[in-house]
Amino acid sequence: IESRFPENMTLINYLYFILCAPSLVYETRFAHTNTIRIGYVLKEFLAFLFCIFAILALMIQFILPVFFTPKSRKLIFCILEDIFRLAVPSLLIWLTGAYGVFHCFLNSFSELFCYGDRVFYKDWWNAGSIGDFWRKWNLPVHEWCLRHIYLESIYYFNVSKNFATAVVFIFSAILHELIVSAGFRVYKPYFFLAMLFQAPLMILNKYLKQSQRMGNMLMWMSLIVGQPLLLVLYFRNWISENGIKSRDDFWCLVQSTSYVFQKGLL
C-alpha cells in the first residue's frame, strides 16, 4: 500500500480503506505495522467469541426470566421492578459488548490487516460529563461525526459551534433509533427520546463542571438506569407484537427467524 501523497490516491488504497481499515474516515496516510502477530490475532478473536457467549449466557440467565415472570401489579410498578432487576445484567451486557467489539474484535482485525492506529476508545469510564462520554467511548463514529457533520456544518453553512453540536447529536439519536428499531422491529421513538433527554443532563453537567466526581456519577447513573429502561420498553413491545407469552415461544420465534434468514428469505 502506497503511503505517499498524492501517489496513495489509488483504487488499491481506497479498497484498503473500505475493506481492511477499521476506520470510517479516509486518510491519505494510514498508520501501518510491518508484521502480523498471529498469536495476538487469535487471542483477541477468541476473547471476542467469549464475549458473545457471555452475553448470551447473561441474557438467558438474567434477562429472559424477568420478562416471562407472571406479573400481577400495575404496569408502572412492573416497569420499575423490571428496571431494578435488569440494571446490573443489562449493564454487564453493554460493558461486555463494548469490550468485545472495540477492544477484542477491532484490535484483532487491525492486527490482521496491519492497521497501526489502534485507538478505538479512550477512558470513557472516567468521563467527567456525559459529553465527554460520547466523545470517548466510540472514537471511529465520533471522528466521522466530527469530520463530516460538525466541521463541515461550520465550514459550509457558517453555523455556530453549539448548532453544529446539536446537529451531530440529533443525527446520532436518529441513527441509534434506526439501529435499535430495525433490530427489534419495533418502531417506537424510545431511544431517540432517551438521547434527547441527555441534553438537559449535559446542561446539568455544566453546573457540576467543578466536580468531576459528580459528573462521572451522573454519567454512570444514566447508563445504569437508561440501559434497562430501554430494554424493558423495546423488549416488552416486541414480545407483545409477536404474541410471545413464554420462553418456549421466544426460542421458537428465534429459531424460525434464524432459519428464514439462512434461507435468504428475509
Catalytic residues: 176
Task: Report DSSP state, residue 34.
Answer: S
How far apart are the C-alpha atoms of 184 and 168, rounded to whole Å? 24
% helix, strand, coil for the chain, step of 5: 75, 0, 25
How far apart are the C-alpha atoms of 11 and 181, rounded to whole Å? 35
Q: Which helix (H) or strand (E) holds 162?
A: helix 161-184
CB 223 within 8 A of CB 94: yes
Phi, psi (5° rounding) for residue 111?
-65, -40
Phi, psi (5° rounding) for residue 263?
-80, -5
How far apart are the C-alpha atoms of 37 and 136, rounded to whole Å? 27
Residue 139 grid coordinates: 472514537
Q: What is the amino acid identity at position 101? A: V
The count of C-alpha atoms lying within 13 angstroms of the C-alpha of 116, restricted to the half-sphere facing its C-beta, is 9
Cα separation values, 97 from 88, 121, 158, Å: 14, 13, 38
How far apart are the C-alpha atoms of 205 and 214, rounded to whole Å? 8
CB 22 within 8 A of CB 103: no
